[in-house]
Amino acid sequence: MRRLKLPLVALLFPLALLMACSGNRSEGSSGQGDTLLFRHARNLTVVTYPDRMEVTMRNPWDTTGILGSYRLSTPIRNAAVFGSVHCALFHELGADDAVGGICDLEYINQPEYKEGVAKGRIANLGNSLQPNIEQIINLNPDALLPSPFENSGGLGRVERLGIPVIWCADYMESTPLARAEWIRFYGRLVGKAERADSIFDAVEKRYQDLCSKVRNTKSRPRLLPEMPWSGQWTLPGSGSSSAKLYADAGAEYLFAYLEGSGGIPLSTEKVVDKAVNADIWLIKHHGKLDRRQMVADTPLLANIKAPIWWCDTSVSFIYEETPFHPERLLESLITILHPELDVDATYNYFKLLTVED
Amino acid sequence: MNYKLKLLTVLLALLAVANVLWGSLDIPVRDVWHILCGGEVEDHPAWSIIVLQGRLPQMLTALLTGMALGTCGLLLQTAFRNPLAGPSILGIDSGANLGVAIVLLLLGGTASIGSLTIGGHLLVIVAAMAGALSIMSLLIILGRLLHSGVMLLITGVIISYVTGSIIQLLNYSATEQGVFSFVMWGMGNFASVGPERLPVFCILCVLGLLLALLLIKPLDALLLGDRYAENLGVRIGRVRQLLLLVTGLLTATTTAFCGPISFIGLAVPHLARLTLGTSSHRTLMPATMLIGANLALACNLLSTLPRDGSLIPISVITPLIGAPVVLHVMLGQNRNTGI
Amino acid sequence: MIELQHLTIGYGNRAVLTDINQTIPDGQMICLLGANGVGKSTLLRTLSGFIPPLSGKVLLQGRELSSLSLSELSRSVSVVLTERVEVPNMKVVDLVGMGRSPYTGFFGTLSSEDRDIVGKAIEMAGIASLAGRTTDTLSDGERQKAMLAKALAQQTQVILLDEPTAFLDFHAKANTLRLLSQLAHETGKSIFLSTHDVEMALRLSDILWIVLEGRILSGTTDSLTQDGTLKRFLEPFELSDLQTSHIQGS
């Protein structure tokens, strides 16, 4: 045995390195995997095996292309999570232990994570756009979970570290439920498949219940979203998740004719021309909103008479709570658009802007 | 010579009218005219606000900004004998940038002094003015101490670098929202002066332009050189201070209200020289003002070119015109010096 | 007439020439001669008011130079310097017109009277044929003449020239000095210039000022020859015998 030990170690060492670097098991695919059936999500293909999964992500900007293809051993135990949204998600899944490092600490609202960083249990990886490479290497994570954006050119040096990069492209799905369904993928990453599935089932049911309630109503209030910045007003295109949400909430989205799945910039003139007909004006704003100031800055806005329902994103958890729970946002919108419906709402992200605010 | 100035004035009138008649929203010319005569258009109540409170102030803003920046460029190019001088050469607009950066990136858009809270665009304007005028005051004081044009230019360059790096630092630690607002502000925008703020803007610009006219005679003398100018009775020190005051005021005002607008200050004096074929400021200054206004109005019109309702930012259009002019000047220099 | 009374000139606390007592009379051309660095430019700068004297007085027609306002000074003393004036697109007539600045109004527009004066100045300087040309098309000598015309248009009693013959060829040097001499005699102005062209100055100048051993010694060519000043001045160049004999012979 002793005589074999040295060559054995010599053989296993590079193999171990390979495994550590690529996270693969070098055995060939054995056994049948479970292909996850997605009911809404379209950009994801997931095949699970007992100890690993194979994931293919479609490129949301060029649907003929692939954003990434992975073979990962699961569950991951030590993830570098770049977005606060996904931190909130892992917390809900009960997978706090799987999070080894986080970025953009100032945007994280969960006290558990703040404490974790303070106590040194979770690594602070800095700014999500320029993460701290040394800390990442030190963390030696199983996977990186960043958000992709078009032409971001990848993560640069970080990608060359050989750590699996799982692009969190959930937000590029074109319907709210499709985005939320990614929870089933993330759940399987951290070994909480059942929990994830049951959460999503509840989300889906509630969402669809709400939709059918709305379908029975007659009125369709005309909705105007967002506000202009420096002469430009960016509005969600018809193919975007937001547009679908407005439709599901029983609104007539005044700019549903805009093609595209992202934000479309228009001149203030063009928007105001239609916006005079709005019944509801929906704004998400960082900090206090002052209607008089808005009009002082952009006089054309004086022409819009619709009441403003707004969300103060500097204090609200809307960005953490709603991506994987679109039903919360939906019920919030329905209470504004169709107050006559009783939807038993517990989430109210928007409130009416009054003069005293 | 006079006929050229007359032509430029006619062109100005045409462009001014065009900027009101056409915009990113298609309003029939007849209806625009109707609104200008005091009427309203049925079914489109928004149109009269768009024309009277949107396009009209925007046209005046572009006109005055073009005049102001072109004049600044002319004053600086003559005073420093540098054909590549522009309003940004002394770092006054960097001061404005820094003021706005502090407000948008650090303070998050609102500031309170005692019980007075200001926010929104008004705060941006105040901060930009404060920043620009501080730098201007600094330069005036240094101008008294240094007695050298070159040293003043170097100071301007240093100021630009220092403010630039402070802004980078603020950018790094700012929120996404803050960075976005700051970037959008940096694109330049003639629509940001509404009818309420227009009077203040007009007064400041006109004041600066009138003061600039006072400098016509000393500037002509300065063309010969400091020594000759002094011998002809020009108080070099006082002229330099007035020059700093005027460029400071005009740069501060335009940057504060419209954001940074590049290239107009640099290119317009050269266009004026090319058109007029003279170096005499008696005709060059009015020509610069007219061409500056025309150029700004043309850029404003071009920004509404896309028919789908979006806008091309001003900061994209001005370099497209400015760069060829600068290139032409540089090639002209090469020919003269044989480099 | 300019009187220099106990004039000490220099920069800061460094005096270049001390206790000068001289007079520049009207209607004469005076040439200032001296080796490089001896203070010629400093004297010219002091007389034109660009730098203040360290001590002593300069009296212009009886009035102290330092008491004159900048505007009065611009009507009393005009200068022609060695600086090369490069202004694109400026016609000669406009350049000469700049000389009327001290007299014109707000924007510097020339009245018809001003234009007459400019025309006369151009004629006096002998560049009437160049009036419509732009300054960047002129030769060095022609440009020099244009600057002189400008100084003439400025209608000052005194014209100061800093090495006006420096970059000219032999003929041009002679022409310039002859022209200046003629102007001084015809207009009654005091024309004061520094030069290195010793031989021509000796021939053509009414009065010479020679900077020698820290002092200024003035006189005509003859008087300076007789009292041996010229000899002492030219000795280091070993030209003394040649020069003085040549002049005595003519």
**pLDDT tens digit sequence for B220-269:** 999 999 899 999 999 988 998 899 899 999 999 999 999 999 899 999 99
C242 sits in which H/E element: helix C240-249
Whether B30 and B156 map to the same domain: the answer is no
Q: B184 and chain A: CB distance < 8 Å anywhere?
A: yes
Q: What is the CATH number of the domain that holds B112?
A: 1.10.3470.10
Please give the ipTM for the structure prediction.
Answer: 0.90
pLDDT of residue B90: 87
Q: What is the pLDDT of residues C141-175, one digit of tens each?
A: 888 899 999 999 999 999 999 999 888 888 888 88
DSSP strand pairing (C207-212 vs C215-219): antiparallel
Cβ-based burial of B112 (10 A; exposed 0-12, middle 13-18, buried ≥19): exposed
Decide: helix, strand or coil at residue A11.
Answer: helix
**Can you tell me the mean pLDDT for A9-31?**
47
Which residue of chain C is at minimal alpha-carbon distance from B336? C136
Q: How many CB atoms lie within 10 A of CB A218?
A: 6
| Helix ranges restricted to H, A50-192 | 84-93, 111-119, 133-139, 176-180, 182-189
CATH 3.40.50.1980 assigned to domain A25-201? The reply is: yes
At residue B35, does pLDDT exceed 80?
yes
Residue C76 to residue C204: CA distance in whole angstroms: 25
Whether B308 and B189 map to the same domain: the answer is yes
Inside any domain, residue B4: no
**C109·B282 Cβ contact <8 A:** yes
Q: How many CB atoms lie within 10 A of CB A120?
A: 8
DSSP strand pairing (A34-35 vs C77-80): unpaired
Domain ranges of chain A: 25-201, 217-352
Which residue of chain C is at minimal alpha-carbon distance from B231? C74
Neighbour subunits, B (≥3 Cβ pairs < 8 A): A, C
User: Cβ contacts of residue A295 below 8 Å, gap of 6+?
Assistant: A301, A302
A267 sits in which H/E element: strand A263-267
Q: Which residues of B touch C50 (CB under 8 A)?
A: 227, 230
pLDDT of residue A25: 40
**C99·B227 Cβ contact <8 A:** no
Cβ-based burial of C170 (10 A; exposed 0-12, middle 13-18, buried ≥19): exposed
Instruction: Provide the domain limits for residue B14.
Output: 10-47
**B228·C85 Cβ contact <8 A:** yes
> In Å, how far is C109's CA from the nearest CA of chain B?
8
Residues C151, C78 contacting (CB under 8 angstroms): yes
Question: DSSP label at C91?
Answer: B
Q: Among C3, C27, C35, which residue's Cα sits nearest to residue C211?
A: C35
pLDDT of residue A20: 45
DSSP strand pairing (A263-267 vs A232-236): antiparallel
At residue B287, does pLDDT exceed 90?
yes
More confident residue, B326 or B199: B199
Whether B99 and B39 map to the same domain: the answer is no
At residue A27, does pLDDT exceed 60?
no
Residue A55 to residue A205: CA distance in whole angstroms: 26
Neighbour subunits, C (≥3 Cβ pairs < 8 A): B
Of A264, A269, A290, the CB nearest to B50: A269
Q: C156 and chain B: CB distance < 8 Å anywhere?
A: no
pLDDT of residue C7: 93
Residue A279 to residue C187: CA distance in whole angstroms: 89
**Can you tell me the mean pLDDT for A63-83?**
82
At residue A19, does pLDDT exceed 50?
no
Distance of CA A58 to the CA centre of its chain: 16
pLDDT of residue A155: 62
Q: Among B161, B165, B156, B125, which residue's Cα sits nearest to residue B138?
A: B156
Whether B43 and B64 map to the same domain: the answer is no
DSSP strand pairing (A123-124 vs A99-102): parallel
Residue A307 to residue A298: CA distance in whole angstroms: 17
**A290·B120 Cβ contact <8 A:** yes
Q: C245 and chain B: CB distance < 8 Å anywhere?
A: no
**Confidence band for B44, pLDDT divided at 50, 70 and 90:** confident
Residues A299, B194 contacting (CB under 8 angstroms): yes
Q: Which residues of B touch C104 (CB under 8 A)?
A: 217
Q: What is the pLDDT of residues C31-62, one digit of tens each?
A: 999 988 888 999 999 999 999 999 999 999 88
Q: B168 and chain A: CB distance < 8 Å anywhere?
A: no
Residues A294, A259 contacting (CB under 8 angstroms): no
* The CATH classification of domain A217-352, taken from the options 3.40.50.1980, 3.30.565.10, 3.40.50.970, 3.40.1260.10: 3.40.50.1980
B176 sits in which H/E element: helix B176-185
A near C: at least 3 beta-carbon pairs less than 8 Å apart: no
Inside any domain, residue B3: no
Residue B140 to residue A142: CA distance in whole angstroms: 60
Q: Which residues of B touch C106 (CB under 8 A)?
A: 217
**A298·B194 Cβ contact <8 A:** yes
**Can you tell me the mean pLDDT for A228-242?**
89
Q: CA angle at residue C146 from C71 to C81, to 5 degrees? A: 60
Q: B25 and chain A: CB distance < 8 Å anywhere?
A: yes
pLDDT of residue B338: 42
Task: Match 């309630």 to its residue by tokens.
Answer: A213
At residue B187, does pLDDT exceed 90?
no
Whether B24 and B67 map to the same domain: the answer is no
Size of interface B-C (CB pairs under 8 A): 70
Whether B224 and B189 map to the same domain: the answer is yes
Number of domains in chain B: 2
Residue B256 to residue B240: CA distance in whole angstroms: 23
Q: How many CB atoms lie within 10 A of CB B320?
A: 12
Q: B41 and chain A: CB distance < 8 Å anywhere?
A: no
Q: Which residues pair with A144 in a beta bridge?
A: A80, A165
Q: What is the pLDDT of residues A81-90, one digit of tens each?
A: 888 888 889 9
**B231·C78 Cβ contact <8 A:** yes
CATH fold match for the domains A25-201 and A217-352 = yes
Whether B34 and B168 map to the same domain: the answer is no
Q: For residue C63, what are its two tokens?
A: 């009035």
**Can you tell me the mean pLDDT for B92-96?**
90
**Confidence band for A149, pLDDT divided at 50, 70 and 90:** low
**A273·B195 Cβ contact <8 A:** no
